[in-house]
Amino acid sequence: MGGWKTDGYLSDPEMMPFVPCRTSSEAPAGGDEVPAMGRSVPRLHFCGARPQARPLHFRAPFKVSQGLPKPPYTPFSLKMQKISVLLFLAWVCLLFYAGIALFTSGFLLTRWELTNHSSCQEPPGPESLPWGSRGKPGACWMASRFSRVVLVLIDALRFDFAQPQLSHSSGEPPVSLPFLGKLGSLKKILEIQPHHARLYQSKADPPTTTMQRLKALTTGSLPTFIDVGNNFASYAIVEDNLIKQFVSTGKRVVFMGDDTWKDLFPGAFSKAFFFPSFDVRDLHTVDNGILEHLYPTMDSGEWDVLIAHFLGVDHCGHKHGPDHPEMAKKLSQMDQMIQGLVERLENDTLLVVTGDHGMTVSGNHGGDSELETSAVLFLYSPTALFPSAPPEKPEVIPQISLVPTLALLLGLPIPFGNIGEVMAELFSEVEDSQPHSSALAQASALHLNAQQVFRFLHTYSAAAQDLQVKELHRLQNLFSKASANYQRLLQSPQGAEAALQTVITEMQQFLRGVRAMCIESWARFSLVRMAGGVALLAATCFLCLLVSQWATSPGFYLRPLLVMPVTCGLTVATVCTGLLATTGLQLDPVVLGAMAAVGSLLPFLWKAWAGWGSRRSMASLLPMPGPVLLLLLIRFAGLFSDSFVVAEARAAPFLLASLILLLVAQLHWEGKLLPPKLLTIPRLGFLTPTGPPRHHGMHTLGLGVGLLLCIRLAGLFHRCPEETPACSSSPWLSPLASMVGGRAKNLWYGACVGALVSLLAAVRLWLHRYGNLKSPEPSVLFVRWGLPLMVLGTAAYWALASGADEAPPRLRALVAGASVMLPRAVAGLAAAGLMLLLWRPVAVLVKAATGAPRTRTVLAPFSGPPASQADLDYVVPQIYRHMQEEFRGRLERTKSQAPLTVAAYQLGSVYSAAMVTALTLLAFPLLLLHAERISLVFLLLFLQSFLLLHLLAAGIPVTTPGKYISQP
C-alpha cells in the first residue's frame, strides 16, 4: 500500500472527506508516534474518498503534534494595546468620512432652500401694481386673466409624442413609429383655433426625475439631488410654490393621480384622489382612476384649480419602451381625455397640458439627454389668448417659465424662489390693435417678474455664498438699468416703441442671466473635489492594506505611529483656519476637514514606510498576483475616461479575456498546469504511488476556452449608455411584456425559466459533489428546499408580469396582487437564507463509528460571521483541533478497542460553499429588479465564476513539498 508524507492539512476538494481507516497504539512503518498526556494514544490515519461515494481507504500519516498550525490567540491584543486599536479605527473612519464628504460635495448637486413667501400685501418692488392693473378690483401684483385652471400633467410626455405622422420624401423609407400622430386633437385645435392655443417645447433641467420636476413645476426653481434647508430628510416642499399660493388666496384645489403629491403637499388639497405609483408595470390603475373622477368633478363646479397627474405613458415607457403598440394605445387614451376636457371648458378657464420630462429610446429618464429633457407644453383657452397665429416650429422655453406665467395669469403672487421667465406672449392685449399697448403690457409683466427675481437674489446671496460674486454684481447693474428705463417709460407711455423693446430685451437678458448663473452654481459638478475625494479614499484603503499586512509582524505597534498624524492633522487644521480668518475668505468645513485628513495621513504613511516598508518588498504586500492587480487597476482607471465608458462594452470583455490568457500562460511558465486528478484510486481502494505530478495543460486549457466562450456569449447581452447615440442595445434585454408575438414570448419564457433551473441545478450539483448537502444545518436545509421555492416564485412572477395585460378583466385584481406579493415572498426567502448563512457560515459534518451506533456531529469553529482575520485563516486547523479533542475524549470514555472510523465532509469547500450559497441568494432579488431575459446573463456569470475559480485552483499544489515514499 502506498501513501505520501505531509506536515500540513490537505486542502484539495477532490480529497475530501478524510477518513481515519485504522487506529493502533503502535505507529505503522513510516508513521510517527503521537505523544499525548504521558502515553501513546491511538493514532488517527486519515483516509480519503469522494463525498458522493462510500469511504475508500488509504493511509496518510498525519503529524497531529506538529502539523497543526497554531492560530494566534487574539492577535491584536497580544501585539498592541486596545486603546491604540480603537484610536486607529476611529481615525480611519474619519479619513473615510472626509473623503466621502469631499467627493459628495462635488458630485451631489446642492442648494439652499429659503422659506420666505410672496404675498399680495408685499409687492416685490416699490411700485404696488404695474401699469394696466391700477384701479382694477382684486388686483394682486397684476390683474387676473383667468379665474380657473385645469392642469393636466402627463408623466414622461416627450415632445415628439405630440408631433403628427411624418410624411416621407420620394425615395426615402416611410417613418412609422407607434407614438407619432396619436395626439391628433392638439393639431386639430391649433389649425381650427390658432389664436386660442399654443404648443411649446418645454425644456426640463436635470435631474429629470419626477419628484425634482414636480418641485420645479410648482416653485419655479432648480431642484437638485439634495435640497438643503429646513426640510432636510423630508419630502414636503417648504419653499413658496403655486399650490401654497392657491390655498392662501382661497382657491379650491382638487387633485387626482400620482400619490407623490400627497407627500410633497400634505393637507393642501380640498379634495384628492390619490393612486399608488410604485408598480411601474401597471399601466392602467392610475389613469383609469383619474378618468373615473375627472369629468364628474369638472361638471360639479366645486373647484378652482384641477390637477390631474397621469402615469400610464411613463409606466408604458419603462415597461415596453416608446416604440411599442401599447404606447400608441396609451397616447390615444390621453388624446380622447384632452378632447373631453376641451368640450367642457368655460370661458374663464385655462387648460394646461404638459409633461414633466421625456424618456430615452429605452423608456428611461433621469439624465440630461435631449430626449429626456424635451417635454410637451400645450395651452388652450375658449377665448382668444394670443394675438398672432402659432409659428411653424414650436418655441422652446424653459420648463420653469410656466410658474410665473400661471401665477400672473391667475392674479397670484409669483412664488418667492422663482427664477423662471414669464412667457411674455400671453400678456399681450389681444383685443387692442395698438402694438404699443401689447408691448407695454409685456414689459409690465417682465418688470414684475424681474423685481421678484432680484428680491430672491438679494435674499439668497445673504443666506448662502454659492453664487458667483462677479456675475451677481453684473446682473444687479443690468436690473438697475432696465428698471430705471422702465420707470422713465411709465412717465410717458405714448410713443417710444424702440425704447420699449429695449427695456423688454434688457429684462429678458437679466432673467436669462440669473437662470444661467444659478445653473452654473447649482447644477455643475466639481471635478476637483470629486478627484480629491477619490484620491483620499484610495490612500485610506492603501493605509488599511499596509497596516493589515504589517500587523502580523512581530514588534509592530500602532501607538508610536499615531502620535505624529494626530499632531500634524490638528496643526494643518489650525493653520488653515487662521489663514482663512485673516484673509477673510469663505470657510468651507468640508475642504478644511479634507486638508486635515491629508495632513494626518501623509506623515503616517511616511513614518510607517520608513520604519517597516523598507524591510519588506512591495510585492509581499499585494493581496493578489501582480499581473492580475495590474489589469484590475487598468479597469478601475478606465472608468475615469469618457472614451472608455463609451467603448466599455468592448473594452471590459477584452480585459477579462486578456486576464484569462495571462493566467494560463503564467501557470504554464511556472509549471503549475496540473492534471484534474492528482491521485488515482484503484477499484480495491488501495492507493498506488503516483510519483511527482505530470505537467500538462489540457485541463487548464479547457477551462480557459470555456471562459472565453462564456465571455463571447455574454457579449450578446449588452446595454448601451444613453450618452452613446451610435450604439444600439441588445434587444434581448427588453422585458417579455414588450414582445408582440405570443409564440416567441412563450419560447423566451421557457428559455428564461430553463436558465433559472440550470442555475439552481449547477449550484446544487456543485455543492453535492463536494459534500455540502450532507449537513443537517439550517442553512444547508434551506439550500435544499428554500432555493427551489425561490425559483418557483420567480418563474410565477415572470409569467404574471409578461402576461398581465392579457389577463381577463375579472382576474386583473388577483394578478396585480400576486405580482406584488410574489417578489416580496422571494425577497423574504432570500433574506431568511442569508440570515441563516450568517448565523452558521461554517459547518463540517463529521461521521464517526466505534462499533456503537453511528453518531453525527457538526463542527463549527465559531458562530456567526468571523470576528477576525485569524478566524478566516485558521478555520481548517481549528476544525482539526476540534476533531482531535472530541475523538480523543471519546476514546478515553469508551475504552473501546474497536477501530474508530471518522469521516469529515465539507472540508475541501469550507470557504467556497458559503460564498457560492450567498451569491446565489443575492442573485434572486437582482433577477426580480431586471428583465426576465437577464437570467441567461446570470447563468453565464455563474459559469464564468466557477470556471475562473477552477482555473486559479489548477495552479495550487495539493500537497506540501515532501518525499514520496512507498510502503508494502
Residue that finishes a domain, picked among 905, 924, 942: 905
pLDDT of residue 466: 75
Could you tell me what percent of the chain has a pLDDT over 90? 23
Residue that finishes a domain, picked among 858, 883, 905: 905
- Tell me the Ramachandran region of residue 158: left when phi exceeds 0, alpha when psi lies from -120 to 50, beta otherwise: beta
Q: What contacts 319, CB < 8 A, 6 or more positions away?
A: 280, 281, 283, 326, 363, 735, 737, 738
Distance between first and last Cα of the chain: 5
What confidence tier does 672 reach under pLDDT thresholds 50, 70, 90? low
Q: Which neighbouring-strand residues pair with 378?
A: 199, 353
- Tell me the Ramachandran region of residue 691: left when phi exceeds 0, alpha when psi lies from -120 to 50, beta otherwise: left
pLDDT digits (tens, 9 = 90+) for 45-82: 333 333 333 332 323 333 333 344 444 444 444 444 56
- Rounded CA-CA distance 291/308 in Å is 9
- Indicate whether 354 and 259 sit together in one domain: yes
* pLDDT at residue 449 is higher than 80: yes
Q: What is the DSSP letter of 618?
A: G
Asked whether residue 914 is domain-assigned, the answer is no
Highest mean pLDDT among 545-559, 689-703, 806-820: 806-820
pLDDT of residue 702: 81
Asked whether residue 392 is domain-assigned, the answer is yes
- Indicate whether 44 and 117 sit together in one domain: no
Asked whether residue 103 is domain-assigned, the answer is no
- Tell me the Ramachandran region of residue 678: left when phi exceeds 0, alpha when psi lies from -120 to 50, beta otherwise: alpha
pLDDT of residue 82: 67
Q: What contacts 945, CB < 8 A, 6 or more positions away?
A: 919
Cα 554 to Cα 78, 791, 853, distances in angstroms: 10, 51, 49
- Rounded CA-CA distance 600/88 in Å is 12
Could you tell me what percent of the chain has a pLDDT over 70? 70
DSSP H or E run through 709 = helix 698-714
Q: What is the DSSP letter of 685?
A: S
- Rounded CA-CA distance 23/317 in Å is 72
Residue 19: φ, ψ to 5°? -130, 115
Give me the residue label for grid cell 451569491: 919
* pLDDT at residue 455 is higher than 60: yes
- Indicate whether 196 and 60 sit together in one domain: no
What confidence tier does 901 reach under pLDDT thresholds 50, 70, 90? low
The predicted model gives 740-762 an average pLDDT of 86
pLDDT of residue 886: 67
* pLDDT at residue 686 is higher than 50: no
Give me the residue label for grid cell 499586512: 549
pLDDT of residue 287: 93
Listing DSSP states for 395-448 in one string gives PEEEGGGHHHHHHHHTT-PPPTT------GGGGS-SS---HHHHHHHHHHHHHH
The predicted model gives 783-807 an average pLDDT of 86
Exposure of 502 by Cβ count < 10 A (0-12 exposed, 13-18 middle, 19+ buried)? middle
Q: Which residue has the higher pLDDT, 470 or 960?
A: 470
Asked whether residue 948 is domain-assigned, the answer is no
What confidence tier does 819 reach under pLDDT thresholds 50, 70, 90? confident
pLDDT of residue 319: 81
Take residue 80 and report the three cell numbers written for it: 498592541
pLDDT digits (tens, 9 = 90+) for 472-501: 999 999 999 999 888 888 877 665 678 888
Q: What contacts 933, CB < 8 A, 6 or more positions away?
A: 717, 732, 733, 734, 736, 748, 751, 752
pLDDT of residue 726: 61
* pLDDT at residue 560 is higher than 80: no
Is-contact 261 311, C-beta < 8 A?
A: no
What confidence tier does 368 reach under pLDDT thresholds 50, 70, 90? confident
- Indicate whether 223 and 347 sit together in one domain: yes
pLDDT of residue 175: 55
The predicted model gives 4-8 an average pLDDT of 31
**How many domains does the structure of the chain reveal?**
2
- Indicate whether 122 and 219 sit together in one domain: yes
What confidence tier does 790 reach under pLDDT thresholds 50, 70, 90? very high
* pLDDT at residue 214 is higher than 80: yes
> Helices (DSSP H) in 895-963: which residue ranges?
912-929, 934-953
Residue 771: φ, ψ to 5°? 80, 20
- Rounded CA-CA distance 858/362 in Å is 52
Q: Which residue has the higher pLDDT, 120 or 841?
A: 120
pLDDT of residue 86: 76
Residue that finishes a domain, picked among 858, 880, 905: 905
What confidence tier does 31 reach under pLDDT thresholds 50, 70, 90? very low
* pLDDT at residue 642 is higher than 90: no
Amino acid present at 873:
D
* pLDDT at residue 861 is higher than 70: no
788 preceded by a cis bond (ω within 30 of 0): no
What confidence tier does 688 reach under pLDDT thresholds 50, 70, 90? very low
- Rounded CA-CA distance 84/63 in Å is 39
- Indicate whether 284 and 197 sit together in one domain: yes
Is-contact 770 51, C-beta < 8 A?
A: yes
The residue segments making up the domain with residue 865 are: 2-70+843-905
- Indicate whether 158 and 17 sit together in one domain: no
Strands across the sheet containing 855-859: 855-859, 844-849, 901-905
Largest alpha-carbon pair distance within the chain? Answer: 124
855-859 and 844-849 beta bridge pairing: antiparallel
Q: Which residue has the higher pLDDT, 179 or 62?
A: 179
> Which CATH number does the domain housing residue 221 bear?
3.40.720.10
Least confident among 219-223, 365-369, 632-636: 632-636
- Indicate whether 6 and 122 sit together in one domain: no
Q: What is the DSSP letter of 62?
A: B
What angle (nearest 5°) sits at the alpha carbon of residue 448, between those of residues 444 and 454? Answer: 140
- Indicate whether 65 and 149 sit together in one domain: no
The predicted model gives 281-308 an average pLDDT of 92
The predicted model gives 190-205 an average pLDDT of 92
* pLDDT at residue 587 is higher than 70: no
* pLDDT at residue 252 is higher than 90: yes
Q: Which residue has the higher pLDDT, 776 or 896?
A: 776
pLDDT of residue 176: 67
925 preceded by a cis bond (ω within 30 of 0): no
What confidence tier does 682 reach under pLDDT thresholds 50, 70, 90? very low
Q: What contacts 175, CB < 8 A, 6 or more positions away?
A: 165, 166, 168
2-4 and 964-966 beta bridge pairing: antiparallel
Helix axes 312-319, 325-344, angle to 10 degrees: 170
- Rounded CA-CA distance 682/687 in Å is 7
- Rounded CA-CA distance 664/702 in Å is 10
Is-contact 345 156, C-beta < 8 A?
A: no
Take residue 70 and report the three cell numbers written for it: 497554531
Give the rounded distance of the alpha carbon of 825 from its chain centre: 22
- Rounded CA-CA distance 58/20 in Å is 9
Alpha-carbon Rg of the chain, whole angstroms? 37
pLDDT of residue 422: 95
Asked whether residue 900 is domain-assigned, the answer is yes
- Rounded CA-CA distance 98/594 in Å is 5
DSSP H or E run through 268 = none
- Indicate whether 334 and 399 sit together in one domain: yes
Q: What is the mean pLDDT of the chain?
A: 75
Asked whether residue 631 is domain-assigned, the answer is no
Least confident among 13-17, 204-208, 955-959: 13-17
pLDDT of residue 683: 34
Q: Which residue has the higher pLDDT, 604 or 192?
A: 192
- Indicate whether 37 and 132 sit together in one domain: no
Asked whether residue 911 is domain-assigned, the answer is no
The predicted model gives 9-30 an average pLDDT of 35
- Indicate whether 306 and 388 sit together in one domain: yes
The predicted model gives 541-567 an average pLDDT of 71
Listing DSSP states for 518-538 in one string gives HHHHHS---HHHHHHHHHHHH
* pLDDT at residue 965 is higher than 50: no
Is-contact 456 466, C-beta < 8 A?
A: no
Asked whether residue 588 is domain-assigned, the answer is no
pLDDT of residue 219: 93
pLDDT digits (tens, 9 = 90+) for 493-523: 665 678 888 899 999 999 999 999 988 887 6
Instruction: Count the helix, strand and coil residues of the chain and give each as a percent rounded to the nearest 5.
Output: 50, 10, 40
Give the rounded distance of the alpha carbon of 78 from its chain centre: 42
pLDDT of residue 830: 93
Least confident among 149-153, 166-170, 585-589, 892-896: 166-170
pLDDT of residue 625: 60
Q: Which neighbouring-strand residues pair with 228?
A: 112
* pLDDT at residue 555 is higher than 80: no
